[in-house]
Amino acid sequence: MPRRETGHQAGLDFGEEAPPADSPLAARMRPRTLTEFVGQEQAVGPGSMLRSAVERRQLPSIILWGPPGCGKTTLARLLARDIDAVFVAISAVSSGVADLRKLVAEAGTRRRVGQRTVVFIDEIHRFNKAQQDVILPYVEDGTITLIGATTENPSFEVVAPLLSRVRVVRLRQLEADDLRAIVTRAVSDNERGLGHLDVSLEGAALDALIGGANGDARAALTALEIAANLALAADRKAITPADIHEALQERRPYYDKSADFHYDTISAFIKSLRGSDPDAALYWLARMIESGEDPLFIVRRMVILAAEDVGLADPHALMVATACQQAVHFVGMPEGFYPLAECALYLALAPKSNSVGSAYYRAKEDAVATSHLPVPMHLRNAVTGMMRDFGYGQGYRSAHAEPGHFARDLRYLPEELDGRHYYEAGSLGFEAEAAARLDRLRTSPPLDTTE
């Protein structure tokens, strides 16, 4: 087997085989083989692209996309190990163009003697275009095998030329059973884990740890180590739910206000409101509030929904939403959750209609296509004598002077669009009444102004 480099220089990590005994539990318990790697069966299980590539020893450049603690760094190390490549890890946060040029030069030297190099770039989404362009030709010609790791959508954060030369592998948040297996192994492992401490983690305490880790293996192992020390300090071998709660210490759910999770969560919230599910709406609202989301961002989306998805089925919805915006702005947080929750419940329970947007888009299509059509003469204001002489305003009648305040035979569209209907009323709430009135309003033919 080719020699594997070790040590650190210029912020580079050359893949140390075994972390020191005093390393954090999460570092000590890193899987040493793909067999030990828990979860992500869709990505590395039998028959997967990665597993087949490793078996053929032909690993392509890839980007591992997934949430924190799902195993991106560990998987990268294992893939490099299994193809007998030198593993060079850098962080996009602390590395620059000079570091990149140096490592690709060193990779080129290794390549000439038959040694492959896997370059692992953590948080690759933080590299700007110039930095990504530096490594592009070396990925293309095979000087390096790139493994990038990101919590962000590569479609938005990785430049198109580089993205076209790599495979994106989606990693999922770890399931409860995955975390249970990882934690149980750590408790019993005598060599790297807590087995020599003879502590136990069962029942409610184990469930509390799994639930509080939010699918993050690193967080679960970190909290486990803290909880074990708390139990031992109290002269106990059994870790209790109280130990777990203390170890987790107000751990917030994973949430990034500028990334995918931000948009995914607001999408779930809006779709719950649109789908008239008040329970789901409150759940996603609470997820955002407790994660520190900007409350005005939330209410801004509710104002849009009030007009877009409730619309004329309940015209009061827009007033409730705008009042919520004023209340949240005035009251602030944390009490602002009251008007936010009230507004969310109102919108979820309101009848729904998208007739406003549908009508507008139909009108917009004609407005763009017929922007050359003049305004009918009888609709123009005759503000001067010359304009009256040219026929401006001739034939116009104020609706207020007509029976029912409706000029039944007056045309308001250009003649070429006569009879065109854009608004189609829904059948729920206020809009049912509006539909009946609209039917009455549309019964009279337009005024013939051509004579």
Domains in the chain: boundaries: 8-170, 176-248, 260-349, 375-441
Average pLDDT over residues 346-360: 91
Average pLDDT over residues 104-118: 90
User: Sorting pLDDT into bands at 50, 70 and 90, what band is 448?
Assistant: very low
Please indicate whether residue 349 or residue 396 has the higher confidence score (pLDDT): 349
Average pLDDT over residues 23-50: 87
Average pLDDT over residues 390-410: 75
Between 17-26, 185-194, 207-216, the lowest mean confidence (pLDDT) is in 17-26
Q: Which pLDDT belongs to residue 444?
A: 53
In this predicted structure, the answer to whether residue 439 has a pLDDT above a threshold of 80 is: no
Reported residue count of the chain is: 451
Q: What is the pLDDT of residues 123-160, one digit of tens each?
A: 888 888 888 888 889 988 889 999 999 888 888 788 88
Q: What is the pLDDT of residues 38-75, one digit of tens each?
A: 888 888 888 888 888 888 888 999 999 988 888 898 89
Q: Which pLDDT belongs to residue 22?
A: 75
Q: Does domain 8-170 have CATH number 3.40.30.160?
A: no
Average pLDDT over residues 199-218: 89
User: Sorting pLDDT into bands at 50, 70 and 90, what band is 340?
Assistant: very high
Mean pLDDT for the chain overall: 84
Q: What is the pLDDT of residues 265-318, one digit of tens each?
A: 888 999 999 999 999 999 989 988 888 888 989 999 999 999 999 998 999 999
Q: Which pLDDT belongs to residue 261?
A: 65
Return the CATH number of 176-248, one of 3.30.70.60, 3.40.50.300, 3.10.20.30, 1.10.8.60.
Answer: 1.10.8.60
Rounded percentage of the chain residues whose pLDDT exceeds 90: 31
Between 86-95, 390-399, 402-411, the lowest mean confidence (pLDDT) is in 402-411
Distant-in-sequence, close-in-space partners of 69: CB < 8 Å, separation ≥ 6: 174, 213, 215, 216, 217, 218, 219, 220
Amino acid identity, position 279: D
Q: Which pLDDT belongs to residue 447?
A: 46
Architecture of domain 260-349: Up-down Bundle (1.20)
Widest Cα–Cα separation across the chain? 103
Average pLDDT over residues 178-182: 91
SS (H, E, C) the chain: CCCCCCCEECCEECCCCCCCCCCCHHHHCCCCCCCCCCCCHHHHCCCCHHHHHHHHCCCCCEEEECCCCCCHHHHHHHHHHHCCCEEEEEECCCCCHHHHHHHHHHHHHHHHCCCCEEEEEECHHHCCHHHHHHHHHHHHCCCCEEEEEECCCHHHHCCHHHHCCCEEEECCCCCHHHHHHHHHHHHHCCCCCCHHHCCECCHHHHHHHHHHCCCCHHHHHHHHHHHHHHHHHCCCCECCHHHHHHHHCCCCCCCCCCCHHHHHHHHHHHHHHHCCCHHHHHHHHHHHHHCCCCHHHHHHHHHHHHHHHHHHHCCHHHHHHHHHHHHHHHHCCCCCHHHHHHHHHHHHHCCCCCHHHHHHHHHHHHHHHCCCCCCCHHHCCCCCHHHHHCCCCCCCCCHHHCHHHCCCCCCCCCHHHCCCCCCCCCCCCHHHHHHHHHHHHCCCCCCCCCC
Fold equal for 8-170 and 176-248: no
The strand pair at 12-13 and 8-9 is best described as: antiparallel
In this predicted structure, the answer to whether residue 85 has a pLDDT above a threshold of 50 is: yes
In this predicted structure, the answer to whether residue 16 has a pLDDT above a threshold of 60 is: no
